[in-house]
Amino acid sequence: MTLSVGDAAPDFTLPDSDRQPFTLSEQRGTPVLVVFYPFAFSSICTGELCQLRDELDTYTGAGVQVVAVSTDPAPTLKAWKEQQGFEFRLLSDFWPHGEVAKAYGTFFETAGMANRGTFLVDAEGTVAFTEVNGPGDARAQSGWKDAVAALAV
């Protein structure tokens, strides 16, 4: 089941690349862009997250916190974050494997990974934007930017 605009965003706590916990509900009062992706170090994921890195001011300048989620273990995320210079948190949905991706309707059971799902959670914890793409189907980030701009209106 994929989430729809207007749904309450499922709460979660996941470790980041430094094994520090991130809890969505603790971010209330701040919108959060939650970006699910299949795997660190893969070509499409690297391209998408590097674009996000390069355009991060678009989100943070609008008061939106950005987190990216995969089923990779935290040490893998740490190495990738350092290699690419990501300034947003990479969260590990490694164990229980893919549970948060499942809650957001983005888990690809056959491959044991998250699909490309993007969710803008508003300051009250409600889904304000959602997009889910299959593996190999890169996302255009223009829709994310439009959703962030709409929050400011």
Burial class (CB within 10 angstroms; exposed 0-12, middle 13-18, buried 19+) of 151: middle
Burial class (CB within 10 angstroms; exposed 0-12, middle 13-18, buried 19+) of 102: middle
Q: How far is CA 103 from the centre of its chain?
A: 13
Residue 28, SS3 per DSSP: coil
Check if 50 is active-site.
no
Q: Which residue is catalytic, options 3, 14, 45, 90?
A: 45
Indicate if the alpha-carbon torsion angle 147, 31, 113, 87 is positive or negative. Answer: positive
> Which residues are marked as active site?
45
